[in-house]
Every structure is written in C-alpha cells, then in structure tokens.
Structure 1
Amino acid sequence: MLNETTAIVCNRELLVDIADIDNSFMDPQLCATFACDIYNHLRASEVKKRPSTDYMEKIQKKINPSMRALLIDWLVEVAEGYSFVPETLYLAVNYIDRYLSGNPIDGERLMLLGIVCLMLASKYEDMWTPSVETFCDLADNIYLEEEVLEMESSVLSYLKYEMTAVTTKSFLSRFVRAARGANHELPSLHLECLAKYLAELSLLDYSMLCYAPSLIAASAIFLANYIMLPSKKPWNATLKHYTLYHPSDLPDCVKDLHRLCYDNPSSGLPAIREKYSEHEYKCVAEKHCPATIPTEYQA
C-alpha cells in the first residue's frame, strides 16, 4: 500500500526541474485530469494477483524455468503473428504464472496452458480473437478442442474469473512519457521501442517474478536511457517524481534486465529479439548494449 508521502504525486505546483507530462487535456486517451490518480491506484493494486515467486521449486516437479521460457518465446511469435495488442501478451504470461503457482503440470500440457491463457487474454484485451480451432492448429493439433475448453474452464476457475491484472505494460507508457518530457535529446520512438524490448525480455526469465511490475517498467526506462545516451545519467527528477523510484531502488532489477539484454543474442530464445529487429520497432534490438553500467548512475 502506498503511504501518504509517495501517493501525493499530482501536485500541480511542480518543481521547476520536473516536466509536467499531464498537461495534454485535449487528448482524451491520456486522461490528464485523472492520470495521477489512476497510476496511484495501479501502484496500490500491483501487489494483488501476482504469481508466486518460487512455484517452480515448491509446486512444479515436471517443468522448469527453461521450459517456461521456451513457451513464452513461442507465444511472442503467436501474439505478433495475430497482431494482438501488447497488453495481451503480458496478461497471458500473468495468467500462466498465476495458474502454475498452484497447479502442478507436466511438459506435455504446458503448451496447452499457454495457448489457453493467450486465448483468454486476447478475449479480454483485443477486439477480435481467433477461434478455438485456430488455437488448436497453432499447437499442431496435438490437443483436441475439448481439451482446450476443459483447460480454459480450469484456468478461469482457479483464477476465480479475476482476469484484470496490473502488469509491467500498465506502467510503461506513462514512464516513457516521463522520460520523453525530461530529455529532449532522445528520439522518442526509439526510446519507447527500446523500453518495450527490455520489458518484454523480462517476461522470459522466471527469476524476474520477484520484481514488481512498476519496478521492471522503471528499470527498463533506466536501461533504455543508458543504452541510448551512455554518457548521461539515466535518471532525473522527472522520472523520480512520476515513477516514485529513486535510482538506488533500481540496481538489482536493472542488473537483471541488463543481463537479459546483453545475453539475448546467444540465448536460444530469438522471438523477442527478431521482433524488435524489425523496422517497425526501429531495430532497437540491434543497438549496442554496453557491457557494464557505471555504479555512480545508480546512486
């Protein structure tokens, strides 16, 4: 729960070195009047509907983090192929991890869980979702339609039909706006695509479940800023004000994101890198990732 000090981030009497990113009142999608209240609510809510951080050790005996990573890498391809909105992928991974937090499963049914959670997420987030038959085809018809529907019922029942969940994507757009408002040297679309690339890499790694979604989003902005402008400090008063994170809160998560980015070309999980190597995403996956981050940037 946010305390009173951190919750009050909407004071219109902003300090001179903090950019006002909530002044676009003519754009209804930005919800400028209520934006701060919305994000305070998201911060308070992100502790709910989170998966266990140790379910692989305590619940799962027949699958491991590598199998989970392979599944999510494949789901990235599927989600991109069907042009699902980004929220769908994040929500599907949330459903997968929450279900696995309480239900032992074997490797043969892991893909079944994956396609069902993607189907549920697309029903929740997208204007259109493929049919059950199409999802069976995606899995090379190794599952019957009846099995898909049975798993769908099992997931919905276990999640108690609580399908709304706060994910990293919930914070990323606002944090990108804060980064843009604070640093006009950065090409805005490149920064946004790079932050999205880093945030999606976090989905692959089971160990990243220990970090709150907002912390991953803030760390993705920090690392994207550093990769884009390595000679300049990646954090500033505007980002601190809107993310509610001090740079000293970020080092562990930034370090793990940096590892994922630096190691990804040789990871054997190519889907996210290939996706963000396309011109649509400004080829940000091909940008050079420095081997280290100066410690003074994280103080």
Structure 2
Amino acid sequence: MMSTRRSSSSSAMATAAAKRPAVAEGGGKATTAAVAAGQQAKKRVALGNITNVAAAGGRAATAAGAGKAGNAKLNSAASVAPLKKGSLGSGRSASTNRASGVKSAPTKPAPAISRHEVAAQKESVLPPKVPSIVATAALAPAPVPCSSFVSPMHSGDSVSVDETMSTCDSMKSPDFEYIDNGDSSSVLASLQRRANENLRISEDRDVEEAKWKKDAPSPMEIDQICEVDNNYEDPQLCATLASDIYMHLREAETRKRPSSDFMETIQKDVNPSMRAILIDWLVEVAEEYRLVPDTLYLTVNYIDRYLSGNEINRQRLQLLGVACMLIAAKYEEVCAPQVEEFCYVTDNTYFRDEVLEMEASVLNYLKFEMTAPTAKCFLRRFVRVAQVSDEDPALHLEFLANYVAELSLLEYNLLSYPPSLVAASAIFLAKFILQPTKHPWNSTLAHYTQYKSSELSDCVKALHRLFSVGPGSNLPAIREKYSQHKYKFVAKKHCPPSVPTEFFRNATC
C-alpha cells in the first residue's frame, strides 16, 4: 500500500515538473524567464481588454504576453532576407546576341576608288565574280507578295494589315545599285550596306518595343478580350458554368451585404476601432489554426451582418467573433476547430455554453443563410483574369492583391463598397504597385469584372491610403502575415505616393 502511494506521489511530482519550468539552482532568473516565455509562446494570447481603444496602446493588454516573441523573431528574419529579382527573359538574351553580331559587321560603305586601282587590286583582293542577281537573292530578304498599288505614305517601317513587313519597295529601292561596268567592289559594298540596314531595322524595332513596354507610361489598351473560361479539362474551373456562377454571385452580394452605417444607427457601446481590433486578432487565430482565407472573410461577413441588427455590449464582442469563426469554420473547413479550442484562445474568458448560445443566436438571426459572396470569391477569379495577358509575376500579383483585400477587412468605411468592387480595386492597385508606369486596367479585366476604370476611382484611392499609411502599430497581424517569405514579402513593397488621374479615365475608341 505504501509502495502504491509512493509511486502515485512520484508520478504526480513528475507531471507537475513537466508542466512547470525548471528553476536553476544558482538562481538564474534569465533561464527561468526564457523557459516561461517559450511556453507562453505556444499559447495563443487572448484578446484581453477590448475597451481600451482610445488609448495609444489600444492593444497593450493583448500584446503584453510573451506570445509575440515568436512573431518578433519571424519578422526580424523576414526583414533581413533579401528580395530576389527574376532573371531576364530569353528574348532579351537573344536580342543581345543578335545585336553583338550586327555590331561586328562593317556598317560604312567602302570609299570610292578609281577604275585603275580596281584593276590593280582585282587579282589579289576580289573573290570570283558573282552575278548581281545571285548576290541579291543571297543577302536581301525574301519579298512578301503584295498588291501592285503602293500607298504614297508607305515607309520602310510600315506594317501591313496582316502584321507582315511590306517588302515591295525592296525590288525598286533607290539605295540598291545595279552596276554593269564590272566594278564588283561597289556591288559588294552596296549589298553589304543593304544587308546591314535591314538587320539594324529589325534589331532597333525589337529593342525599342521592349523598352516601350517596360519604361514608358502607356494609356489603357484598347485590345481584344482574352478568353479565360477555355479550360474544359479541369472540372474545378467549371468553364461552362463560370460566367453564370459569377453573374449569380453579383446578384447575391446585394442581398447578403451588411449595413454600412450600423455603428451610427445600431451600436452604442461598440465603435469601428473595436471592430478593427477584433478582426486583427481573428487574423492571428486563423493563422494559428491554418484556416483557409474564405473562413476569415465569412467570419467578418457574419460579424457585420449580426451587428447590423443586434446591439451588443463591448464585453461580448469577442464572444461574437469566436462564435462567427466557429460557424464559418464548420462551413468551409474540412476539419474545423472544436468549441473548446475557441474557448482556449480567449484564455477561457467565455465558457463552452456561452459560445454555443452565441452561435445559435447568430444562426437564427442570419436565418441559416451561410453562403455569402465575399471579396475573396471575386478575387480568386479576377486574379486569374489578370494573369491571362499580364507580364507581372503571377505569385507576386496574387499575394499583393490578397494583402490589399485583407487590409480592407479592418476598415469599417469600406463596407459601403460591394465585395466585387473591393476585389477589382485590389487587382487595380496591385498591378499599379508592380508596374507604376503601365495602365493597370485593360479590356479583359473590364469585361470579366464588369467595372470600368472610372468606377474604381474612390475605392482604389481608399485602398491606396490604407496600403501607404497602414492600419497602425496596434493592428500588425495582416502586415506581419504578408511580410513572410511564403507570401513573397509583398507587405514591404514600395507604393508610389499617388495614383495618376489618367489611369481612371475610360478608354475611348
């Protein structure tokens, strides 16, 4: 009996020792603090007091925990990591090789010499005499068939309707010299000059076109619409139904939108700053449990829709947040977190029954209409449309647009814009940040988003201010999230101070 008690006592002591950090005999306080910080980092810090919003350190209670140590370490590593640049395309290297080959050839015609000097040098210098017509066929480009009528405004750089270079003038060019007096050196010099000029025209055309595409500001392209729904082999893309699906989502977003003035008309104890703190904390929870982005967007949608018709106390705002995330996780996730885990992330501020009661209240008020079009639904399609005929890196454009769209979740004033407009504006701003001199909008994006560039002006400017200024030091979750290597450090990209006004002008034919 004594041995049984002794074994149970020793096991209890071992369990207690495993739960508590060991203390050094020498009184090492640094070691104790490090072990305690390491164990607290494993636990998600609760939101804490959400009422201290007006103070400068509005999130001091939340950030006071040692759980931020891991994030600080991640941010320091992310800031030191260099940003790699993509290598140049093979087309530029081929153009460089072609240019070096052209520059090695002589470009000046041979100086005129007398007939006697030609006779003296003919035996030692000149190759065997070749008829002029053979040299012409060997060096001159093959002519393209064209009509016998030549436009008086035709120049050497003109391009025909079918995008082929017109070479009708090569048969009657005044620069080409036919010499019948046997002066072969002048013939070869003329042919060499003709060949060099043809090559130089092609080289300059490629270089100037590439330079124009990269550096010069260009207006909105009046181009043809690229086909996006043409992949019928991938069943997840739903190529045959994609257009109808997104037309239905555009109609549904007007019915599932929250009120844009519920803070002024409904809520008396909650303000936009408290809402932003709650969403910033929910971003950290979603990252902790690796939830899909749609879960986060749906959570914010449920919160705003519930606040649009129900007055709530600020002490229960975090309870509403975890209940809405629980519902969204059940709707979207394959393996949703349990109720006890959401109680744990609030540091057991709320009991299990309270979370379930709030969940039932939200479901009843929303009438179990959980399907709601969010900005993420439209952003997924708009990114695919933008990548069809875009030269920007695909991942940088996608991550940057996602970053801008998630920043919009924090801003209460952006609820006045429909989710599809926010998604289109995020694509507009992301393309502008990646290529500030190029018009971000084109006919393909205007067709599939059903928004003209002029309709995006106000929302793009609001997102631009949010991107440039940032949500503040007390709301760092989204910026820290997209400052990681897996998101290509898009949160650290430089944004121009303003968007040119001409980018918001619609294209005119």
> TM-score w.r.t. structure 2 length?
0.55
Residue 53 in 1 paired to residue 260 in 2? yes
1:251 aligned partner: 457
More helix by proportion, 1 or 2?
1
- The counterpart of 2:344, out of the listed 130, 133, 137, is 137
Match of 1:22 among 224, 229, 248: 229
Deviates more, 1:133-142 or 1:261-270: 261-270
* Deviations 1:239-271, CA, capped at 9 Å, x for gaps: 001100000000110011111111116453111
Identity of aligned residues (%): 63
Aligned equivalents of 1:75, 1:290: Cα separation in 2: 30
1:186 aligns with 2:392: yes
For the residues of structure 2 that align with 1:279 and 1:24, how far apart are their CA atoms? 31
Structure 2 unpaired stretches of 5+: 1-221
CA–CA distance in 1 between the matches of 2:296 and 2:337? Answer: 15
- 1: distance between equivalents of 2:456 and 2:367? 33
Asked if 1:173 is matched to 2:370, the reply is: no
1:227 has 2:433 as partner: yes
Selected match of 1:123 from 330, 333, 337:
330
Which of the numbers 445, 453, 464 marks the counterpart of 1:239? 445
Match of 2:355?
148
Relative contact order, higher structure (CA 8 A, sep 6+)? 1
Shift of 1:291: 1.1
Q: Give the 3-state SS of the residue equivalent to 1:218 in structure 2.
A: helix
Q: How much does 1:130 deviate?
A: 1.1
Q: Deviations over 1:35-77 (max 9, x none)?
A: 1111111111110111110000001000100000000000001
Question: Which structure has the bigger radius of gyration?
Answer: 2
1:160 is aligned to: 367
Q: Residue 75 of structure 1 aligns to a residue in which SS?
A: helix
Structure 1 position 94 matched with structure 2 position 301: yes
Partner letter of residue 87 of structure 1?
Answer: D
Q: Structure 1: any 5+ residue segments left out of the alignment? A: 1-14
Deviating above 2 A after TM superposition, structure 1's stretches of 4 or more consecutive aligned residues are 265-268
The one-letter code sitting in structure 2 at the alignment partner of 1:24 is N
Residue 289, structure 1, aligned to residue 488, structure 2 = no
Matched, 1:196 2:402: yes
Code of the residue aligned with 1:165 in structure 2: it is A
Q: CA RMSD of the aligned region, Å?
A: 1.1
**More displaced stretch, 15-24 vs 37-46:** 15-24
| Contact 2:296/2:325, CA 8 A, preserved across alignment | yes
Cα distance in 1 for residues equivalent to 2:485 and 2:239? 31
Q: Give the aligned partner of residue 110 of structure 1.
A: 317
2: distance between equivalents of 1:89 and 1:67? 17
Determine helix, strand or coil for the equivalent of 1:164.
coil
How far 1:182 sits from its partner (Å)?
Answer: 2.5
1:187 and 1:267 map into 2 onto residues whose CA distance is 30
Deviation at 1:81, TM superposition (A): 1.1
Residue type matched to 2:280 in 1?
D
Task: Quote the offset at 1:289 in angstroms.
Answer: 1.3
Contact 2:223–2:442 (CA<8 Å) still a contact in 1?
Answer: no
Contact 1:59 1:102 in 2 (8 A): yes
Question: Cα distance, 1:107 vs. partner?
Answer: 1.2
Instruction: Tell me by how many angstroms 1:279 deviates.
Output: 1.2
The CA deviation at 1:21 is 1.0
Give me the whole-angstrom Cα distance separating, in 2, the residues matched to 1:162 and 1:39: 18
Q: 1:181-240 CA deviation, whole Å, 9 max, x = no partner?
A: 131x10001100000000000000011100000000000000000000001000000100
| Count of residue pairs the alignment pairs up | 284
Q: Does 2:476 correspond to 1:270? A: yes
2:71 aligned with 1:71, yes or no?
no
Structure 1 length-normalised TM: 0.93
Counterpart among 182, 206, 215 of residue 412 in structure 2 = 206
